[in-house]
A and B are shown apart, each in its own frame.
Chain A
Amino acid sequence: MTSAAHSSGALPASVDAMLELLTSRGYLAERSLATVTYLSLRMGRPLFLEGEAGVGKTEIAKVLSAALGRKLIRLQCYEGLDVSSAVYEWNSAAQMIAIRMAEAAGDTDRDQLSSDIFADRYMIKRPLLQALEPDVAGPPVLLIDELDRADEAFEAYLLEILSDFQVTIPEFGTVKAPSPPIVIITSNRTREIHDALKRRCLYHWVDYPAAERELAIVKSRVPGISAKLSQQVVRFVQALRNQDFYKSPGVAETIDWATALSELDARSLTPQVVGDTLGALLKYQDDITRMQGETLQKVLKDATSEN
């Protein structure tokens, strides 16, 4: 436990309070997710969320930052992400101008010059460095999104930041966060993340929600949707997840689909309207092809039957 966790009064004091906090912002979390989130805040440990795309991993960082009134700093990972785009970069153009100015002024003290131009104001701070800076509202929420897309070299670089919350800049020295940021790391598991990194985090697998919770999510995220339609939507999606698809629809897709249907003023699911909007739910042509004909009829019948 860090002293920071104690000093900030805004953090929830129990798992139930955490659950309430998330719910108040429209994030209907499973209790297990609330528990690990609470723990990660209390222990000052990064939270590593893994799971299929569209189950709400990224969303939790956004909700946390809004609910706690902290700044959200997002680092979207991609292949080739390096220190200069993730941590800091020197503003070389400005530095060169500074050198020329010094020359023109007849200033020839080299040591003075080098300490002048490697100063804070010539540094372009990228997300990771920003996250280490003190903030009036309290330590920010740092979202390291889709870490599996970055390459191993970057992952190794993160180890120092995540365990000591500091970075070392050769020309400048070490920057250490006065109090560690709240770190949320997400991964879609397009590759395995090294154990060394996971060891520094609390790990949680975010699963698809149960029908009841998903229904509640749809109702809260798609206001104005009829009770009947929302129920059918959720049943339909849950049935799809049992099918052997290449990519099962996530919660994000459910919300998209429900929104699409309510935009179209659909009252209930019919083969016609489902066929037209299936693209909001399934993202692979093979899956859509498989969904036609009998499979569609069957799933639709199950979803729309009254019980």
Chain B
Amino acid sequence: MAINHLAPEQTEQFADNIVGFARALRAAGMPVGPGAIIDAMSALQVIDIGSRADVFTTLEAIFVKRHEHALIFKQAFNLFFRASEEWKHMLDSVPLPEQAKKKPQAGARRVQEAMSQPRMTETPQHQEQDLRLSVSDREILQKKDFAQMSAAEIAEALRAVERMRLPQAELLTRRQRPDPRGLRLDLRRTLRASLRTGGEIIDIHRLGRIEKPAPIVALLDISGSMSEYTRLFLHFLHAITDARKRVSVFLFGTRLTNVTRALRQRDPDEALASCSAAVEDWAGGTRIATSLHNFNKLWARRVLSQGAIVLLISDGLEREADSKLAFEMDRLHRSCRRLIWLNPLLRFGGFEAKAQGIKMMLPHVDEFRPVHNLSSIQELITTLSRPLPPHHRSLIRSAA
């Protein structure tokens, strides 16, 4: 039985149901546009709508565009088009939109939670004091440890962090574009130009390879011991996410959360608020090994495969340090282009890698840097914008 064999009023009812369902999905946080609804209607014209499983697959193929949404879809579908006996009556009983709306609350609830915990929002009264910071104050600020800043200084530091931008261009890609100093001959354009002179080649056009910034993947420790720093780093990561295309950000404490999409929002406060809404283990314990394991297993292949630089921001204070930690660090190190460990503990002059966890992680990083004040972040930016290590560059060149 296809939909176009139904009576007109039944068809209408059916369409209403689909629209209601699409709305419920949207309320659950899935991006379902009007185009998808039209698609769904035309798809349902070619399959047998008597079969619940087929309708499920059909609607899934149209509404779900990311694997992560499959679960939400399944729940929504089961709730909306309830049990199998009622399936027969699907055409005449409009499933209650109220009930359907109740279900998908995941996103809404998190937002509410975020609202009630204003940990990420700034209090406005600092604005006034900020203006009084003179130039020399700023110089001091550059060296000041984040952990010792007053609220006003933090506000100023945040603004400084927001202004930081990573310079572009690092990685030679295999794509080409017109470039007068390029190495390869652009035959097509040369030939076209020659037609203007009756086939005589006067101008030689060349192609050069396009450079693009290497992707950056940041893994930020948000456990209790890092809490004084997290917010500033998030601001920093937001600033670089805003400026570059390929930045992925993960937060970890006892579990790993991908906040890349949340950080994409333009407004830093909104972005940070939705980050905090997404994270369930804020300022809790640390399980670096487990978090790295999850990253390696679920995300590494998806975000590191384009030659990414990994920023691991953590103090490395892991209680359950065992061979697992070293193993996961090694794996992470081998799957990225460069692994930079940023550790706020390095600020202490006589810092020694005594903690077991730090000892295990150290052999697997390319660079170990402090990040505890503005100038260290500035140094980090300089490092990131430096050209790639020479051996790597020559490797790429010789492959040209």
Contacts and interface: CB of A to CB of B under 8 A. Distances in A.
Interface of A: 1, 14-15, 31-32, 35-36, 38-39, 42-43, 45, 50, 79-80, 82, 84, 89-90, 92, 95-96, 99-100, 102-103, 108, 110, 113-114, 117, 151-153, 171, 188-192, 195, 198-199, 202-205, 244, 246, 286
Contact of B65 (A35, A188, A203): A203
A42 B175 contact: no
A43 B195 contact: no
A15 B54 contact: yes
Given A15-B47, A15-B48, A151 B305 contact: no
10 contacts: A14-B48, A15-B48, A39-B46, A45-B39, A80-B174, A82-B175, A82-B176, A92-B191, A153-B175, A204-B61
B64 interface: yes
A99 B194 contact: yes
Contact of A113 (B31, B54, B58, B195): B195
B306 A39 contact: no
Contacts of A191: 302-303, 305-306
Contacts of A36: 57-58, 61
A189 B60 CA distance: 19
A153 B173 CA distance: 12
Given A35-B47, A151-B306, 20 more contacts: A1-B42, A14-B47, A35-B54, A36-B57, A39-B46, A43-B42, A50-B67, A79-B174, A80-B174, A92-B190, A92-B191, A108-B198, A152-B245, A153-B175, A191-B305, A191-B306, A198-B66, A199-B36, A202-B62, A246-B296
Contacts of A171: 192
B297 interface: yes
Given A15-B48, A79-B174, A103 B67 contact: no
Contacts of A32: 53, 56-57, 60
B57 A42 contact: no
A191 B306 CA distance: 9
Contacts of B331: 246, 286
Interface string B303-332: 101100000000000000000000100010
Residue of A50, A202, A286 ringed by the most chain B CB atoms within 10 A: A202
Interface of B: 31, 33, 35-36, 39, 42-43, 45-48, 51, 53-54, 56-58, 60-62, 64-67, 70, 173-176, 187-188, 190-192, 194-196, 198-199, 245, 296-297, 301-303, 305-306, 327, 331
Contacts of B39: 43, 45
* Shortest 4 CB-CB contacts between residues of A and residues of B: A80-B174, A92-B187, A99-B199, A198-B65
A225 B192 CA distance: 61
Contacts of A195: 31, 65-66
Contacts of A42: 43, 46
A110 B46 contact: no
B61 A203 contact: yes
A146 to B, nearest CB: 11
A198 B173 CA distance: 25
Nearest to B43: A39
A102 B51 CA distance: 67
Given A79-B306, A190-B305, A195-B31, A95 B191 contact: yes
A190 B301 contact: yes
A31 B54 CA distance: 8
A129 to B, nearest CB: 15
A100 B48 contact: no
B143 to A, nearest CB: 39
A156 B191 CA distance: 27
Contacts of A15: 47-48, 51, 54
Contacts of A110: 195-196, 198
A32 B188 CA distance: 47
A112 to B, nearest CB: 11
Contacts of B297: 244, 246
Nearest to B36: A199
Nearest to A37: B61
Contacts of B61: 35-36, 39, 202-204
A36 B39 CA distance: 13
A199 B47 contact: no
A167 B70 CA distance: 33
